[in-house]
Amino acid sequence: MKMRTLGRNGPTVSALGLGCMGMSDFYGPADRTESIATLHSALEAGVTLLDTGDFYGMGHNELLIREALAGLPPSRSDAAIISVKFGALRDPAGGWHGYDSRPAAVRNFVAYSLQRLGVDHIDIYRPARLDPQVPIEETIGAIADLVKEGYVRQIGLSELGAASIRRAASVHPISDLQIEYSLVSRGIEEAILPTCRSLGIGVTAYGVLSRGLISGHWQAGAKTNDFRAVSPRFQGANVAHNLALVEALRVTAEQRSVTVAQLAIAWVAAQGADIVPLVGARKRDRLAEALGSVDLELSADDLAAIERTVPKGAVAGERYASAQMSQLDSEKGAG
């Protein structure tokens, strides 16, 4: 497994990370046995970065990771670097009720995560979104106190705009920004990515396959009961337009004897050594496909061909529904 360092002062992690969200939430029922087997396969393949959130399945995801790690020898489980997002408020029906990033709430959230994960520290801890009621400096300051106390090793960010990133970094060194980045989600390139690079902050890129849209597996007319049912990119004329882009990309992939998913993941990784793609594989076969992207080196000609096939801005539809887009600090101007 190739390795990359998150930011100027962050940890060294595998060049591909595993996003564990879908094993507990948002994509319909998941097979627990297969999820644990996928986690084991990832760690055995050298994947060290596991990304979760305390609100994924209301704690289910953290407990799942704990169970998976408990079934491995210490030499393997100790290699895992766990990244945890916090702050989202849920209800028993799975609804959403905003965010809470007050210092007291930060300490409460981390206490529960430590217990569910069965660890004495969290490797990377990050607010899931900007809490509009709490200055980011206060939230980061609270996590910085946890770093001093040994409960957290590194501080990360998620979906922040350039101005908020700078404010956060003024309080404590930041390892990485977790944000959506893919061939069809390139909004970070204008201001956010340059800001991260100027501050020595790495990027962990989620949504590299745009929720499966550009995986090469999604089919026209496919029905879903998960959150993609309201995702703009999967609606009506949008999905037809977007799948046409995927089919054009498939031609380029076949010329390299790789899959569309592998090409799309490799494109993200090729945008800089400071970027680590996160893949949300829930099954071992999808994980194996994603792992095939790690050794895929894209030439300048390959990158130019991909750019011609899927130019910036070519996708139809926003990456989230309008209500969710309005909550993203990363979407509120260049900052």
- CA separation for the pair 207, 213 (Å, rounded): 10
Q: Minimal CA–CA distance to 46: which of 7, 8, 12, 23? A: 12
Catalytic residue (choose from 56, 99, 125, 181): 56
User: Would you say 284 and 41 are in contact if contact means Cβ atoms under 8 Å apart?
Assistant: yes
Helix (H, G, I), strand (E, B) or coil at 303: helix
CA 188 to chain centre: 14
State the Cα angle at 273 between 268 and 279, rounded to 5°: 40
Q: Which two tokens stand for residue 224?
A: 């879903």
User: Would you say 218 and 227 are in contact if contact means Cβ atoms under 8 Å apart?
Assistant: no
Question: Is 27 designated active site?
Answer: no
Burial 293-324 (b: 16+ CB within 10 A, else e): bbebebeeebeebbeebbeeebbbbbbbeeeb
For residue 120, what is the enclosing H or E element? none
**Residues catalogued as catalytic:** 56
